[in-house]
Structure 1
Amino acid sequence: MKELGTVAIQLIRFAIYAVVHVLLISRLVLFDLGWCFFYLGFLLFLPLGTPIVVQLLLSFVMGLTMDIFYDTGGLHAAAALLLGYLRPWVLRLLTPRDGYDAQDSVNVHQMGWQWFAVYLLLLVLIHHVTFFVLELGSFQHFGQTLGKILTSVLFTSLALLIVQLLFFPVRRGRQ
């Protein structure tokens, strides 16, 4: 019964991130150079114990959903799938000395600022490099693409950090 509740919560989270991205966030553009890929929050903030197969499936479905709305021919799906594939590797790379608790989630309050910043920036950078290089299809306009990548990484990361600070619970002291 508990698993059913977890699945329902994740489906609601999926819908919220997708709808907010499509209806609101996608219209925000920084200097015609930076875009916020808000939907990545769903993939990045999945529970730490999420099996890799489930992460890959959710990554593909979320990316495909964005591709359907923006007619991007699989760009979002490919970049999101790579993010979903590399997420467990990054989590292993950043594993604390005591390991992760089974109940842990990706949360700036639980994991700390340094851990969260490295985790967020690394995975968002991987996603954005993949997305924009695939979008361009070559390295012909490398400077402009690099500008898009860096601006979008900062924009997306800042938006997801704000989501963390506003909507994820603060860590309570041990009693």
Structure 2
Amino acid sequence: MNSSLGIRHIVQFVVFVALQILLMDSLVLFGTGFSFIYIAFLLFLPINMNRVLLLFLGFIAGFAVDIFYDTMGIHAAASVLLAYLRPFILNLLTPRDGYDTNDSVNIHVMGWRWFLAYALTLILAHHTAVFLLEIFSLDGLSAAVPKILLSVLFTGVVMVILQLLFFSLKRANR
């Protein structure tokens, strides 16, 4: 990883966590749907990322949110789960020709269907972990399911908007 790539990811980390803490904490859809924008940092990392580094970054991202939300490790656990599952999902969605070494998760490069399958699967796993750890029993499962589904939809829409705004077609062609 060259230094400009590393600096870009550090800036993305700070921006996504800051947006989560400052903006998305107060945005709730119908009192049920939450958007966890900080996971965009993990979703948009390069495809060939080292797995151990990915797990560490997942923990750091989730722990940073846990500190500000006072959630006692719920986001850290869910983010580590997302980081753990990410390589498996990428393997399942590998194109016929495989990934290029320079490929990153970009809706313009990989296409809509690939990006939505990738993002929604990982967002569903993350949000399920967050809300099930939050209730910490299966008794509240009926209340958690609408929260999970609406939050996955809300976060998925935000991820697509982020991709269209900040990951331009010009950068995809470089």
Q: Report the TM-score range of the alignment, normalised by the length of the smaller protein.
A: over 0.9
Match of 2:4 in 1: 5
Count of equivalent residues: 173
- Spell out structure 1 runs of 4+ moving beyond 3 A: 171-174
Moved more, 42-51 or 2-11: 2-11
SS at structure 2 position matched to 1:27: coil
Partners of 1:102 and 1:156 lie apart in 2 by: 28
- How far does the alpha carbon of each residue in 1:49-108 deviate from its partner, in whole angstroms, 9 at most, with x for none? 111111111100000000000000000000000000010000000000000011111011
2:36 paired with 1:55: no
Partners of 1:152 and 1:138 lie apart in 2 by: 19
- Is the Cα–Cα contact under 8 Å of residues 109 and 172 in structure 2 kept in the other structure? no
2:81 paired with 1:82: yes
Distance apart, 1:167 and its partner CA = 0.9
- Is the Cα–Cα contact under 8 Å of residues 109 and 171 in structure 1 kept in the other structure? no
Partners of 2:23 and 2:130 lie apart in 1 by: 20
Structure 2 unmatched ranges of 5 or more: none
Partners of 1:49 and 1:172 lie apart in 2 by: 18
- How far does the alpha carbon of each residue in 1:30-49 deviate from its partner, in whole angstroms, 9 at most, with x for none? 11111000001000000111
- Is the Cα–Cα contact under 8 Å of residues 110 and 171 in structure 1 kept in the other structure? no
2:120 paired with 1:121: yes
Match of 2:132 in 1: 133
- How far does the alpha carbon of each residue in 1:1-22 deviate from its partner, in whole angstroms, 9 at most, with x for none? x622221111111001111111
- Listed as ranges, the matches of 1:1-175 within 5 Å are 3-170=2-169
Distance apart, 1:143 and its partner CA = 1.6
Indicate how the Cα distance of structure 1 residues 173 and 158 shifts in structure 2: closer, same or farther if over 3 A, else same.
Answer: closer
What is the TM-score of this pair, normalised by structure 1? Answer: 0.95
Distance apart, 1:173 and its partner CA = 10
Code of the residue aligned with 2:157 in structure 1: it is L
Partners of 2:20 and 2:109 lie apart in 1 by: 26
Structure 1 unmatched ranges of 5 or more: none
